[in-house]
Amino acid sequence: GTKKYPKENEYNSYLSAHGGYSNAYTDLEDTCYYFEVTYDALEGALDRFSQFFIDPLFAPDCTDREVRAVDSEHKKNIQSDMWRQYQIEKELSNPGHPFSLFATGNYDTLSGAAKQLGVDLRGELLDFHAKYYSADIMKLVIVGRDSLDKLTEWTVSKFSSILSKGITKPVFKAHPLTKDEMGKLIRIKSIREQRTLDMTFSLPDIKPYYKSKPGRYLGSLIGHEGKGSILSYLKKRGWATSIVAGRSPTSAEGFDMFKITVSLTETGMQSYQDVIRVVFAFIQLLLSKGPQKWFQDELRRVSEIEYRFMEKNDTVSMASVLASTMQNRYLPPACILPDCLLLSEFNEELLEWVQAFLNPLNFRILLAARDLSVDFVSEEKYYGVNYRVDPIPAALMRDLQGVLRYDELHLPEPNCFIPDNLVVKNKVAADEPADAPTLLKLTTGLELWFKQDDRFLLPRGNIQVTIETPRAYESPLNSIFSQLFVLILKDSLAEITYDAQIAGLWFNIRESLSGISLQIDGFNDKLVKLLRILLECIKSYKVDDTQFEMYSREVRKKLDNARHAEPYNHAQTNTHFLNQAMMWRYTDKLEVFDLVTKDRLQSFIDTLFEQTRVQMLVLGNFSEDEALEAADIVLQTLDSLPLPEYARRVSRALLHNEGSYIHHESMPDEGNVNSSVDMSIYAGLTESRTDRVLMDLLLLIAQEPFFDQLRTKEQLGYITYCSDRKYSGGMMALRLLVQSESNPTYVSQRIMCFIRAFRQRLVDMTQSEFDKYVNSLKVRCEEKLKNIFEEASRFLQHISSGYYEFDRITHDLATLKAITKDSVLLFWDKYINPDSAASFKTLTSTIWSSKIYRPLAHDMARFPESIVSLHGCLWREGAEKLTLESVDQFVASVSKSAKKADDPDVFRRLVSLYKTGVPATLSEEDVAKAIEKINEPASYVRTSLEMALESRRCASMPAAAANGV
C-alpha cells in the first residue's frame, strides 16, 4: 500500500474492477512497472500507480511474502535450461563486475543473508528505494485515448511529487568479458534434450550508434537463412536446425556483447568444431568484402516501409518498450518512437570497426547438451548446473586464425520480396466497418470468405487457409507424421521464404485436429506470390534423407522434452485431454515413434491431400478478383477430390456426469520441486449467450481476489490464476490453477475454501462496485481491433467453430445490459457453489512432484482428503516417517476435545506428533526452525489442521446441520 491508498491490495483491486492488470520485470539495469486498464479508469489508475514512487508504505508483513514470491519464482526456474545457462554465463564472467552476480535471488540470498549479516531486510529495501527511485533516472510513458493535453495534465499533477535526488544512471565502466574470460570452451549439462552452441564476442558499447545499428546489420548477415548462408551450409550436412545472431540481450550501458547461437543436431554436436569453422569462414568473408551498402539500403528500405505503415499493437507493450528505449541516453527525443524500426544511415568506417571485434581472440564457446560425454568437474551454486571449463582446443584456434574458405558460402542475393506497390485500394475508412466477411464462394471442396479492408487503410493483407484432411490426426502415428511434415516443409522453404520474412511478410504452417493450416500476413503486394510458393512445396514435397534424419530426431527430442514441461503445463494438458473427444498426448506418440520411417512418411504425404475441404479467409488490401484468384491457386495446386461432409473431423467436447472427479499423476521430471492443481468447475453452456456473458463477468470479478488470496496472502505458489474454458458444443468451465511446493490435496482444499467463501464477497458487493465490473466488460467488448491480424483471427474463430457468430459482440453487449447482481448470484449458486448447485460438476487434474510424498490409490480412497492434506503439510516440514494412520488418529483425538487449531494444548500435541515423524538425519536446528514455522498463525500445517478439524466436525453432524439448515 501507499500513504494515500493504505489498503494493501487497493491498486490491483482497482485495476481488476476496471478490466486491467499490472506486472513488472527487472532487467540488467532497469526495473519496468506497467499496467493496463480500461480507458475510462486511466486517471484513477495513474493516481494509485504514482503513489508507489512517492509514498510507499513497505508494510513489514509484506516484505516476507514478497521474498517468498521471489523464492517461488526462482524454484520455478531451477529446471529451466535458459535460466541455468544464463547463470553459468554470469558466474564465468569477470568476478569484479556486477554482471557476475546472481541474476534473480531466492530466500537464502535475501532473508537468509539478511539474518546472517544482522541487517533488517525491510530497512535495506527502504534505503534502496530512497537512493535509486529518483525522478532523474526514471522514464514514464502513458498511452491513452485522451488528448495529449489531458494526458500531460495528469502526468504533471500526479507524478511531479516524485523527488529528484540529483543522481545519474550508473554506467558500467569495465566489461564482464575480459581477456581472462575469453578463449574458453564451456560445457554444461542441460535438463532437456537439446544441443546448443553459443559463441559470444565482447563488444564496446554500441548504443551510441543508433542511426546505423551495426548489431542489426551484422546479425542480419550472419543469421541469414537463404542460399549461401551459414545455416544453409549447416543444414545440408545435417548439422544444425537454426541460427540466431545479434546483440546479446545481456548487454547494458557501458558494454555490449554479440552472440551467435546455433541449434545443433546430434551429428552437429559431434562436429561442433567444424560448425565453428564455418561461422568464422563467413565472418572472414564479411571482412574481405567489406561493409555492403546495398544490403544496408535494403534493411533501411524495409524499415522505412514498416515504420510508415506501422500497425497498432497492444498499448501495454508499446508503453513498456518505449519506457525502456527512453533509458538510452544517446537517443534524442525525436528518435525514441522510431528507434525499434528505423535505420537511417550507412557508416562504412563504423561497420568495419565493429566487424573487427568478431575475431578468434575475442570470443568464448558454450556447448549445452544433456548427453555430453565429458567429466563435469564443477557445480553452479544456485541451480546446481554441472559444467566444465577448458581452453579452446589449440588446433581449432589455429584454424580460426588462419584462412578459411568454403565455396558454398556467399553474401545474400537482392531481396525480391520487398514490396513495390503500396497503393491502398480503399481510400476512405467506413464510418461503421463491416463486422463480418462475405461468403464469396461455397462448393463441396471450398468455403471462401472475403473482406476488403475498410478499417485500417494500409497496404497489408492476411490470408488464412485450412486444408481439412482427416488423415492428418487419425492416429498418434499420423499425428507424428503431420508434425514431422510441417517441420521439414518449413526447413525446405527457409532458403526461399527468409527474404519474404525480412521484407515484412510472415507465414506459419501448422498441423491441427482437422488438417494442415497456413497463415500468411504482411504487405499484400507479394502475399499471393508467397502463397503459391508455399502450396507448391506442400503438394510436391519429396522426403530428403538428410532432412528426415535431422527432423525425425528433432520431433523425438521435442516429445522427450515434453516431460520437462512445468507441472502446471502437464496439469493443463491432462485437463484438455479429459475434455476432448480426440487428443494424442506426447506419451501416446512416443509409444509408436519407432514406426516412423522415411518410406512411411512419404506414403503419408503422397495420400494426405487426396480428399480435402478448404476453408479460406482473404482479408485486407485485396479485391474480390484477387481473393478468387488466391482460392483458385489453392484448389489447382492441391488438385484434390472434395471431402464428403460425413468425413470432416470437428472438435467435440466431452460431457461430464454430476460429481467431483480427480485425476492424479506423478510429475515426469523428477528434478522439479513443484506440484500443480488445475480445477475445473463446469458452469453453463458455451452456446448460451446469457451463460457466456455471466461467465465472462464472473471471471472478471473473481480473478484478482483468487490471485490475492492464494498467491499474495497464502503464498501457495508463483503461478496462480483463474480463467475459463469455453468448449465448443459443451459446457464452460471456471478454471482455477495453482503451481505450488505444497501437496496437491492441500492446494485443492484451499481452492475449494476460496470458492465457498467467495459467495459472501458477491453478496457484499455494492451496486456501485458491480456496475464497475459490468462497465469494464462492456469496454473490453467494445475495444477496437488494432490490426488486420487481430480482425482475421476473430473472423477465423467464428468460421472454424462452425457457428459463424460474427455478431457475437453485439449480442453479448445486448445481453450484458440485462445482467444484474442477482443474475450473477443465481449463476454462482446454480453451477459453482458446491453447497447449492443441483448438479455440481468438477474435474481436478493434479500433478505430484517426486520431491513430496504421494499416497497410494487405496490410501487416497481410505482417508479423507483433509487427512492426506495435513499429512502432506507435516511431511513437507520434514516429518517423513509419519503415517496417514497416525495423523488420522491425532485429528480424531483433537476433535473429541472440541478444541481449535490455535489452542496452545493442540499446538503442543501437534509438535509431539511432528517429532515422532522426524528422521534422525534432520538436525535439531532444522527441527526447531520447522516448529517455529508451524507455529506461525498462517502456516500451512495450522491451516490444514483447522480444515481437518472442521471436516471432522461436519462429518459427525447430521447432513442438514452440517449444511447450516
In this structure, are strands 731-740 and 719-726 parallel, antiparallel, or unpaired? antiparallel
Q: How many CB atoms lie within 10 A of CB 660?
A: 14
pLDDT of residue 955: 74
Which grid coordinates are listed for 289?
568484402
Q: Report the candidate in 715, 953, 737, 750 with the shortest Cα–Cα distance to residue 870.
A: 750
Decide: helix, strand or coil at residue 681.
strand
Which grid coordinates are listed for 930?
520447522
Owner of C-alpha cell 461468403? 439
- Ramachandran sector of residue 412 (left: φ over 0; alpha: ψ -120 to 50; beta: rest): beta
CA distances from 908 to 253, 723, 867, 912, 934 (A): 57, 41, 19, 6, 11
Burial class from Cβ neighbours inside 10 Å (0-12, 13-18, 19+) for residue 538 reads: buried
| Interior angle at CA 49, CA 45 and CA 53, nearest 5 | 165
pLDDT of residue 957: 59
Which grid coordinates are listed for 319?
508503453
Distance CA(439)–CA(455), nearest Å, equals 19
Distance CA(906)–CA(497), nearest Å, equals 71
Q: Find out whether 282 and 409 touch, Cβ atoms under 8 Å.
A: yes
**Amino acid at site 352:** E
Q: Find out whether 531 and 496 touch, Cβ atoms under 8 Å.
A: no
Q: Find out whether 722 and 707 touch, Cβ atoms under 8 Å.
A: yes
What DSSP designation does 334 have?
G
Distance CA(404)–CA(351), nearest Å, equals 21
Distance CA(228)–CA(789), nearest Å, equals 33
Distance CA(585)–CA(571), nearest Å, equals 12
pLDDT of residue 956: 66
Distance CA(948)–CA(906), nearest Å, equals 13
Distance CA(233)–CA(238), nearest Å, equals 9
Which residue numbers in the chain have pLDDT < 70?
Answer: 956-965
Handedness of CA 264, 265, 269, 270 (dihedral sign): negative
Decide: helix, strand or coil at residue 200.
strand
